[in-house]
Amino acid sequence: MTDTQQVPIGEAMKLALDHHAAGRLDVAETIYRAVLVAEPEHPGAAYGLALLALAHGRPADALPALAEALQREPGNAAHWSNYAVALAAGGQPEEARDLLLQARRQGLGGVTIEAALAKVQRMVGAPPPQLIDTFADDGAPPRP
């Protein structure tokens, strides 16, 4: 008899996210992997594993799932930011900067993009680019 338990994928993902948020990364990883066994194309589980790879200093392992998440949800600023962080951490800060500037041009902005851009700017050693009107992540009006 094993100690494994079958739960619906939605419940498993909630458990994984709860463990992830609480810092129990090994448990979260086990659950994400179990979800992917049951549903190999599950974007949330793949994204969770990508974030864990980033947290463990393996940006190259994170890039494919982050790129897919960005393609699936191009309006999600966190996807742009996380993908840029992975690029920068993997030795491609210029590409990360370009990606974040592209996000701005597409109307994404706010704290998530700006914080990632500031980090990448420091890595590149370049001055901040000219700001353009964007909307904050919370739907606030454009900044001056």
- The structural domains of the chain, with segments of one domain joined by +, span 1-62, 73-144
pLDDT at 110: 86
Q: Is the pLDDT of residue 1 over 70?
A: no
CA atoms within 13 A on the CB side of 106: 14
Per residue in 86-132, pLDDT tens?
Answer: 999 999 999 999 999 999 999 887 888 989 898 888 877 755 544 44
pLDDT at 19: 96
Separation CA 104–CA 81 (nearest Å)? 11
Q: What is the pTM of this model?
A: 0.75
Cα–Cα separations (whole angstroms), residue 46 to 70, 105, 127: 12, 27, 34
Per residue in 42-55, pLDDT tens?
Answer: 989 999 999 999 98
Separation CA 50–CA 59 (nearest Å)? 8
> How many residues are recorded in the chain?
144
Separation CA 85–CA 115 (nearest Å)? 11
